[in-house]
């Protein structure tokens, strides 16, 4: 097998195939590790950790600590982050080597259903796996060349004083929290009526409120039409004629499959209007020998999903074990401040799919902030199919939300009912115990 792209999905598939005795080559024209390790989940969360210390210092006073005025050395944080990314890049390279996978550090292009050109050489294989991920989608705005994407935002060696973020999805929300906590004045311009479109409405409402309480200026139904460079600063003009001054403008307007120039269509692979590789449940394309996994297929764009898809392909092709990756019930998180975690259906989705549902919601001030004095709320929500009593959705906003939701995802995977939640003894005092104490249905 020849794998194009050494991100999470490509590496997982290649290593698993190699463990079953397959001869595998993997090509990568950037660093090994892909979006998640190099310019996504990992470096982003390291910056979230770093920026969140601002609130920890502030909260410490309520618990009797005297803390000197803290100062963030942003350049030092970025340098530390970069060292960790370098380490992980080396780990991934070593894992490929130890699995017997040949790494070719150059760009690959499909020549025919069994041939890949990598640099000035060609490689033939029984199977080809495309795992090229996605890239930031830049909006069609006059002056967009003056903006940065999440890629560049992760590499800033100095903090701007004012940032305008275009887009209110998870990437925009996460970076808004990072910059704001680091002392940057943040303005978000979003087309819709709230942040995090596609998430449960209660999540969207509480996250918007909490972000605004932290000082982030969220401007809804605001479309940016022009960005002009003025000396060292930028001038942003909205469709309504409003002018915003900034030292940096970040576009967080989504991501698109990274499939250009790979020779896919010429080889007979079907590409949809968004540029995604069209595959079946087994991750097989219209060409029987070519498979695709991860964000380039635009199915469920999460790192663990890409890994599971890749391993399923290896099981199918090299272990005589046909495997389908189940995309149902996959938990996800937004490392906003406060963080979001969710699994299963939103309330709106549940009402569309089930005849009758029950909804349980709790909104409270966490124990920690009774002493810290911070005005921050936690929201937890369960969505239940009334007929079967099965819990079909869980949504949390608050500290440790992502850690909590992993266990809830297992419960939902096992078909847990609301009665089973109710008869489970809570762990006191924790945030998570609220999930087994909710009794009142929302009208």
Catalytic center residues: 428
State the DSSP string of 62-94: GGT---------HHHHHHHHHHHHHHHHHHHHH
* CA dist list (Å): 208 to 187, 238, 364, 386, 395: 13, 21, 16, 30, 15
> DSSP readout, 188-241?
EE-SSSSSSTTS-HHHHHHHHHHHHHTT-EEETT--EEEEEEETTEEEEEETTS
What is the C-alpha separation between 198 and 337, in angstroms, rounded?
A: 18
- Which DSSP letter does residue 139 get? P
- Rounded Cα gap, residues 371 and 194, in angstroms: 31
With b for 16 or more beta-carbon neighbours within 10 A and e for fewer, the 35-60 pattern comes to bbbbbbbbbbbbbbebbbebbeeebe
Task: Report how far residue 358's alpha carbon sits from residue 351's, in angstroms, rounded to the nearest whole number.
Answer: 10
Structural contact between residues 294 and 310, judged by C-beta atoms closer than 8 angstroms: yes
Under a CB-based contact definition with an 8 Å cutoff, are residues 227 and 249 in contact?
yes
């Amino acid at each position: 097998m020849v794998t194009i792209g050494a991100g999470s999905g490509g590496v997982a598939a290649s290593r698993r195939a190699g463990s079953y005795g397959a001869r595998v080559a993997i090509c990568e024209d950037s660093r090994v590790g892909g979006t998640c390790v190099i310019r996504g989940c990992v470096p982003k969360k390291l910056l979230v950790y770093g920026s969140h210390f601002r609130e920890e210092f502030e909260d410490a006073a309520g618990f009797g600590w005297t803390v000197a005025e803290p100062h963030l050395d942003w350049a030092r944080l970025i340098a530390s982050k970069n060292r960790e990314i370098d380490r992980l890049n080396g780990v991934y390279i070593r894992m490929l080597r130890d699995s017997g996978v040949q790494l070719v550090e150059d760009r690959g292009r499909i020549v025919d259903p069994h041939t890949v050109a990598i640099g000035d050489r060609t490689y033939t294989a029984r199977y080809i796996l495309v795992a090229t991920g996605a890239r930031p989608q830049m909006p069609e705005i006059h002056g967009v060349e003056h903006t940065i994407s999440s890629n560049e935002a992760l590499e800033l060696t100095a903090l701007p004083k004012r940032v305008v973020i275009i887009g209110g999805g998870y990437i925009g929300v996460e970076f808004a929290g990072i910059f704001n906590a680091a002392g940057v004045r943040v303005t978000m311009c979003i087309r819709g009526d709230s942040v995090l479109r596609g998430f449960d409405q209660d999540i969207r409402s509480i996250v918007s409120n909490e972000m605004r309480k932290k000082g982030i200026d969220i401007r809804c139904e605001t479309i940016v039409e022009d960005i002009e460079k003025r000396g060292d600063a930028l001038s942003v003009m909205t469709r309504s004629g409003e002018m915003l001054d900034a030292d940096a403008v970040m576009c967080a307007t989504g991501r698109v499959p990274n499939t250009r120039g790979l020779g896919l269509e010429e080889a007979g692979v079907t590409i949809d209007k968004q540029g995604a590789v069209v595959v079946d449940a087994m991750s097989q394309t219209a060409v029987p020998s070519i498979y695709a996994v991860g964000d380039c297929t635009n199915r469920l764009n999460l790192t663990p999903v890409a890994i599971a898809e890749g391993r399923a392909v290896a099981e199918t092709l090299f272990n005589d074990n046909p495997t389908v990756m189940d995309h149902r019930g996959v938990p996800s998180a937004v490392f906003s401040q406060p963080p979001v975690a969710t699994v299963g259906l939103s309330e709106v989705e549940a009402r569309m799919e089930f005849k009758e549902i029950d909804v349980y919601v709790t909104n409270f001030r966490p124990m920690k902030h009774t002493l810290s004095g911070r005005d921050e709320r936690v929201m937890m929500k369960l969505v239940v199919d009334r007929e079967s009593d099965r819990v079909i959705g869980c949504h949390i906003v608050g500290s440790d939300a992502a850690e909590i939701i992993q266990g809830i995802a297992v419960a939902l995977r096992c078909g847990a009912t609301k009665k089973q939640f109710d008869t489970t003894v809570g762990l006191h005092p924790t945030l998570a115990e609220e999930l087994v104490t909710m009794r009142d249905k929302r009208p």
